[in-house]
Amino acid sequence: MVEDLNFLKVKKVLFLTLLIFLFTSKSFSQSYNFKKLTKLDGPWGSSFLNEDELIITEKSGKIKIVNIKSNKISEVDHNLNFLDYGQGGLLDILFKDNFVYISYSENRGDWKSSTSIAKAKFDKIKLNFKNIFQAEPPIDSGYHFGSRLVIKGNYLFASAGERGQGMIAQDPTNHPGSIIRIHLDGSIPNDNPKFEGNSNWLPEIYQIGIRNPQGLSLSPFDGKIYMSNHGAKGGDWFGEVKKGENYGWKILGWGGKNYTGTKIGPKWKPGFTKAIQYWVPSIATSAITIYKGDEFKEWNTHALITSLKDKSLRKLIFNDKSNVQEEIIFKDKIGRIRDIQVHPNNGKIYFLAGDNLWLMEKS
């Protein structure tokens, strides 16, 4: 009799657990709608031209304009001398005040390339770009270009990866592995670190010690710029861009290891910039944004972090740096997420994931 009662209790617990699981699963699936809008070919970066159109790069070399209402796609010709090699190709793109800015792996000859930035007056037929920055030196590598772009006032911030060269990120006489800060015309601000006590730094460099930064976002709330960065085997992070500082790669490993399994270095130590959030094992952080909008107004001021490896969107509440709260919004819904954009009017979210443009909205 006692055994029968225990069995009934176990059945009751299992039944209640199943009901809770089904309820929470159902409520989650009803929270958001995902709509596949258009098919693309390896999309990488995007930017709103207006409330109806996105301009999008494809890594293999095409620039396209997508109308998010009609899903019509048009291709824009351009004159970029790019190299589609490994992780390189056309990267981020940014539209501002009738100009288009783009980061790309520039073909510098003999399989050498650099993370370069070009600017063109907007035209729907052809974009005639002119370089405003080239990372020096050009390197024969298909790895770790970065790269994202952010405009703050008259300044253009860009992330440049260390091209798989490790300790080059500790050498401020080379651009790879750094945050770049220039004026919108490519000229150099006279208050960059080189002119304020770091005389050995290249004049465009704002911060060093970075590995492969594929997320960069200006917060509309505190005016600060935030970034995400790939670690090696673990050690991804989200942190703040800080003038004249050093995130420590490859002295620091941020909790990760080399792909061979050997230790890189400590997660953090005094004298280096400390990230706000780390991920070990790696989630392969990609584009980020500090959300501002009406569709998900409860997320205002929060950071949204996209992931390639685990195909997730994560939300960070980080106003209290000693108690960062992380939530996985979704996972394995739309594939590897490369870019995220928030609609400037309604706050709905658009993703480049896999080979598609996706819309996410409330149910």
Q: What is the CATH number of the domain that holds 319?
A: 2.120.10.30
Answer yes or no: is 234 within a domain. yes
Answer yes or no: is 119 within a domain. yes
Answer yes or no: is 267 within a domain. yes
State the Cα–Cα distance between residues 233 and 264, nearest whole angstrom.
10
State the Cα–Cα distance between residues 98 and 55, nearest whole angstrom.
12
Answer yes or no: is 4 within a domain. no
Nearest to 128 by CA among 116, 137, 120, 136: 120
Answer yes or no: is 297 within a domain. yes
Answer yes or no: is 155 within a domain. yes
Give the per-residue pLDDT at 189. Answer: 98
Give the per-residue pLDDT at 226. Answer: 98
Beta carbons of 189 and 155 less than 8 angstroms apart: yes
Please state the three-class secondary structure of 190-247 as a single string: CCCHHHCCCCCCCCCEEEECCCEEEEEEECCCCCCEEEEEECEEECEEEEECCCCCEC
| pTM of the complete model | 0.91
Q: Give the other-Cβ count within 10 Å of 230's Cβ.
A: 26
Give the per-residue pLDDT at 9. Answer: 52
Beta carbons of 65 and 74 less than 8 angstroms apart: yes
Give the per-residue pLDDT at 31. Answer: 85
Beta carbons of 188 and 154 less than 8 angstroms apart: no
Residues of the chain with pLDDT under 50: 1-3, 5, 7-8, 10, 13-14, 16-30
Give the per-residue pLDDT at 254. Answer: 96
Number of domains in the chain: 1
Strand 73-78 with 126-127, pairing = parallel
Give the per-residue pLDDT at 97. Answer: 97
Answer yes or no: is 2 within a domain. no
Answer yes or no: is 28 within a domain. no
* Domain span including residue 195: 37-362
